[in-house]
Chain A
């Protein structure tokens, strides 16, 4: 076994093992969590980059855990192929980069970083597992890490949001597990590649494989919950909004993204295009769920007052685009879905980092409070503006590339309804993005003194200035400033550096449409042949 083949196992095991270190060290030292996490994630990132380079140069890397090859179909494998390597890179880069924010922005504490590392390991495991049962295990690890992260916020809302995700997330994972059970009954195998071969055989033998269909149905609903598709999205806005600012980028960029990746993996590697297209109404249902989520998510985003909540609903809509693209079952659409997964993860991470910076340095949490932001915090506002524009899908940006491939895929599939939704999604995204842009750049901060002061409204979203609102309403501008609890000094250079890096990357990758196509071509064409 060469050294590269060891990497997948190490990438999963090391963060999970290291998760215990901050707690152990915490017995003696107060603040070791960040350093341990920084070293670990930096190492993980370097290793992932090395692994990815190898994957794109020579093809998939497979690690058979424990060297237990036999019997075929039950031994556990970790696989880094063209698809999972890209997602693993996103996970590693985000977890490492976000530390620059949490260093000064919090949350702090050794137990927090223990959860952080656990989540990192779980996400990487979910990304690289080659086994459907193991996928369930990692889904649960990711779930546990996420509950811990969300509840590390200091208000009661965080606890409620975490509990909500705990309940709904577990239901989702359980549904998935039931699906795995059916699949195992039907085929007797758990390994994805083996399943990928068995499913078509079974279809040919039985014609109407009821067990397979049931398995798919359970798995899809389970994932729809995890990915937060309408109407199963209700945990997500609460979770994003009430998680600490330092955590939201992580869960927004990664947790749903990796779940959506897992859905894609199950749909295309395990069941395969043949099953998807042969089963009546299957693609129609998947596409409808996605398309409805696009519309519903954007509509709900437009009416939100709280910026984090708005961006959370935006995620519902963007993942809808990905799921709809899965449902189209064409090569180009799948490529688009993968690119959009990466792109959306990046852009949302950047946006939530920006939201954190604004909350920290400017004290603004609602859309109305963002008025005049461009003058106060030009770099943050500019970064946020560019990312929002990229999210709308204006070229050159990674947001456009994903949308282009998905749109081409929809037209190739001659699925005009989806094509229409995808083209209109520009306008839907623009509706909430422009709202924020206009506030930041073209609304002077002083307009907040109008009689219809937004303060009263503002309080419901953020717990922050609930107690100050009456004072503010009593006296206009002067108190208003003090009501902003932001302290510009709290914004560190690292935070801005992360934001700027993400922003520049999102634009530069806008020229990499061809490169993405080349990188993913082996995976996509293998799925469809």
Chain B
């Protein structure tokens, strides 16, 4: 039942109001950050206050036409409604914002960043639009907030105001507006046109309906080709933000943004808004039944459901992105590709359509958010404290930042889907789902498992190097340092080559030491991680030095010339990464950084464990189950157990 309420609007507007307060109090940093925290708390309070009602089946709704009598577009209302699916995303974003606002304060102050007011204002605005996406009640409303989200996150990406940031910003705008303004708008218009064609009054409908818009199903029967086009346009529109290949390359570049942005927005709010949009399209615009039954005839294969191409793309993305992540030396970039892969888990799970897979995908939204936010917070804390960004410089850093790196280990285990951490639960359901469907779908199960292994392969080395290696002695990292496919040199040469460089590396570096754009992933310069320390003054005798100490360049006080770090983002040209002279000092977990940063890390990591150990008691799984029950229109999730995909889809139709 729908209940008119101003709460969804209030939840959206809280942080929009905060934007003005933040800008107004730009002279007083403490007051300014106070507004951020206050807005985050109020926002979470408002969202949480709706939760009991939503779990009882109430849908809180605010509409512009009903409350103010203003029609947004002819026949289309501007609606915000808190339904279970929206609540899932809103709870997540507003809860994590609380801790991120503390962390962001610690981070920005720790680095003494410029334009902090603009940063916090944009951050609050981003959260406002993210909640707008969560609560949007129809395609036009979600489109509005989707576009606004692209807009207000742009200042965060271009924050550094240098060439790298500007280029990343341009790319970001181009990708996200192509997704929103072109694909999503086109899809929305098509849906409007299709539904108005079958409506007796000629009025199109765009409002989300649990299990799919009925009029659209009617229209699809009459105009299957346009319905399919609309489906793919909508998926592509949201797929841009969900970083599904080949639309993913903005994400890694956007990592030039300050780490809280990468953490909350590029691992939670922005990218999840894409995944969330895919969920809306699959579950509440088209509906699993229609998607499954709308035949797409592929030459040579026959007719397949509309979901299959999406699933294939997602499976490809999650495998390919994991492989690319293996070769990223820059920690944030590695995490970015991990995000790309993990988002495709969600898209894959949704596109499998089976109730279990959908449940897994929905639960993966919070599971991944908690895990990845932990990882990004850790990367940021390491950056603030030691200015170290590259995995190859992190040997032994566990001594310096024990708590941070322990939290990192938890997050990493979650990404890989280890039991007891949140990521396991969601992946488990997805595996059951794809297994139950059977047929060719085993391929997707295999992709999930392979990607899990790859997750271990690219995140474990970070933990390993932090805790089990030391500054002076650590293993070579052939995966990072060699060109793809290994080196064509004699065994001897390889043996001496634990060191950082061979001559020809210099030629292959991008001019000016600029990090190359990320889509250049095949180039070995990139893989090496642009800016990995090189020793330039060692040309004469490096062979001996390298012979003795494979990773000589990393030795503290080493002759490594860190000039190229000057081009590195975040850098003001006056510090370099890696251990200080004399190695990492040993610090206790409580003194490794400011409380502003440690506390959020600890809380979020604890959250990731909680979701993994007792998912039943953390609200997200319950919400996800409730959503799936609604979509498949059953009273209890148990009714769906053991059904095949075709049977499950039948359930909806009944």
A residues lining the B interface (CB < 8 Å): 335, 389, 392-396, 401, 404-405, 407-408, 411-412, 419, 423-424, 426-427, 430, 434, 438, 441-444, 511-518
Binds A, one of B171-179, B383-391, B468-476, B613-621: B171-179
CB distance B170 to A512 under 8 Å? no
Indicate whether A517 sits within 8 Å of B73 (C-beta atoms), given known contacts A407-B189, A408-B189.
yes
Indicate whether A427 sits within 8 Å of B73 (C-beta atoms), given known contacts A394-B151, A442-B165.
no
Which 8 pairs show the lowest CB-CB distances between chains A and B?
A: A514-B71, A517-B74, A426-B181, A513-B73, A395-B144, A442-B158, A411-B193, A394-B147
Q: Provide the bound-state CA to CA distance between A419 and B537, in Å.
A: 60
User: Which A residues are CB-close (under 8 A) to B185?
Assistant: 404, 407, 423, 426
Q: Provide the bound-state CA to CA distance between A424 and B70, in Å.
A: 29
CB distance B193 to A426 under 8 Å? no
Give 20 A-B pairs besides A442-B165, A514-B72, A514-B74 with Cβ atoms closer than 8 angstroms. Answer: A392-B177, A394-B147, A395-B143, A395-B144, A404-B73, A405-B74, A408-B189, A411-B192, A411-B193, A423-B181, A423-B182, A426-B177, A426-B181, A427-B182, A438-B158, A441-B158, A442-B166, A442-B169, A443-B161, A513-B71
Indicate whether A438 sits within 8 Å of B169 (C-beta atoms), given known contacts A395-B147, A427-B177.
yes
Instruction: Look across to chain B and name the residue whose beta carbon is closest to the beta carbon of A424.
Output: B182
User: Which A residues are CB-close (under 8 A) to B74?
Assistant: 335, 405, 513-514, 516-518
Shortest beta-carbon distance from A421 to chain B in Å: 11
Shortest beta-carbon distance from B636 to chain A in Å: 40
- Mostly helix, strand, loop or mixed at chain A's interface? helix
Which chain B residues numbered 50 to 85 have a C-beta less than 8 Å away from chain A?
Answer: 64-65, 70-76, 78
Shortest beta-carbon distance from A523 to chain B in Å: 14
Q: Which of A335, A405, A419, A511 has the most CB of B within 10 A?
A: A511
User: Which B residues are CB-close (under 8 A) to A396?
Assistant: 72, 144
CB distance A444 to B161 under 8 Å? yes
CB distance A408 to B193 under 8 Å? yes
Indicate whether A441 sits within 8 Å of B71 (C-beta atoms), given known contacts A407-B185, A426-B182.
no
User: Which A residues are CB-close (under 8 A) to B193?
Assistant: 408, 411-412
Q: Provide the bound-state CA to CA distance between A372 and B71, in Å.
A: 39
Indicate whether A389 sits within 8 Å of B158 (C-beta atoms), given known contacts A395-B143, A442-B165, A511-B78.
no
Contact of B192 among A389, A408, A423 (CB under 8 A): A408
Is B274 in the interface zone, CB < 8 Å from A?
A: no
Q: Provide the bound-state CA to CA distance between A411 and B193, in Å.
A: 7
Q: Provide the bound-state CA to CA distance between A393 and B190, in Å.
A: 18
Q: Provide the bound-state CA to CA distance between A423 and B189, in Å.
A: 10
Indicate whether A411 sits within 8 Å of B189 (C-beta atoms), given known contacts A426-B177, A441-B155, A511-B78.
yes
**B contacts with A, residue count (CB < 8 A):** 35
Interface string of B177-205 (1 = CB under 8 A from A): 11001100110011011000000000000
Which chain B residues numbered 83 to 113 have a C-beta less than 8 Å away from chain A?
Answer: none
CB distance A517 to B71 under 8 Å? yes
Is B148 in the interface zone, CB < 8 Å from A?
A: yes
Q: Which of A335, A389, A423, A516 has the most CB of B within 10 A?
A: A423
User: Which B residues are CB-close (under 8 A) to A411?
Assistant: 189-190, 192-193
User: Which A residues are CB-close (under 8 A) to B71?
Assistant: 513-515, 517-518
Instruction: Look across to chain A and name the residue whose beta carbon is closest to the beta carbon of B145.
Output: A395
Shortest beta-carbon distance from B153 to chain A in Å: 13
User: Which B residues are CB-close (under 8 A) to A335?
Assistant: 74
Q: Provide the bound-state CA to CA distance between A426 and B192, in Å.
A: 19
Q: Provide the bound-state CA to CA distance between A405 and B140, in Å.
A: 13
Q: Can you give 13 contacting A-B residue pairs, CB < 8 Å?
A: A392-B177, A394-B151, A395-B144, A407-B189, A408-B189, A423-B182, A424-B182, A427-B177, A438-B166, A441-B158, A514-B73, A515-B71, A516-B74
Instruction: Look across to chain B and name the residue whose beta carbon is closest to the beta carbon of A442.
Output: B158
Shortest beta-carbon distance from B53 to chain A in Å: 28
CB distance A443 to B166 under 8 Å? yes
Q: Provide the bound-state CA to CA distance between A442 and B74, in Å.
A: 38
Shortest beta-carbon distance from A428 to chain B in Å: 10
Shortest beta-carbon distance from A389 to chain B in Å: 6
Q: Provide the bound-state CA to CA distance between A273 and B193, in Å.
A: 21
Q: Provide the bound-state CA to CA distance between A443 and B162, in Å.
A: 8
Shortest beta-carbon distance from A374 to chain B in Å: 9
User: Which B residues are CB-close (under 8 A) to A518?
Assistant: 71, 74
Shortest beta-carbon distance from B288 to chain A in Å: 26
User: Which A residues are CB-close (under 8 A) to B182?
Assistant: 423-424, 426-427
Instruction: Look across to chain A and name the residue whose beta carbon is closest to the beta carbon of B114.
Output: A444
Shortest beta-carbon distance from A397 to chain B in Å: 10
User: Which A residues are CB-close (under 8 A) to B161?
Assistant: 442-444
Q: Provide the bound-state CA to CA distance between A424 and B151, in Å.
A: 18
Shortest beta-carbon distance from A14 to chain B in Å: 35
User: Which A residues are CB-close (under 8 A) to B72?
Assistant: 396, 511, 513-514
User: Which B residues are CB-close (under 8 A) to A514?
Assistant: 65, 70-76
Q: Which of A404, A430, A511 has the most CB of B within 10 A?
A: A404
Shortest beta-carbon distance from B602 to chain A in Å: 35
User: Which A residues are CB-close (under 8 A) to B174?
Assistant: 427, 430
Shortest beta-carbon distance from B138 to chain A in Å: 13
Q: Provide the bound-state CA to CA distance between A514 and B203, in Å.
A: 13
Q: Provide the bound-state CA to CA distance between A394 and B148, in Å.
A: 7
Q: Provide the bound-state CA to CA distance between A427 and B240, in Å.
A: 15
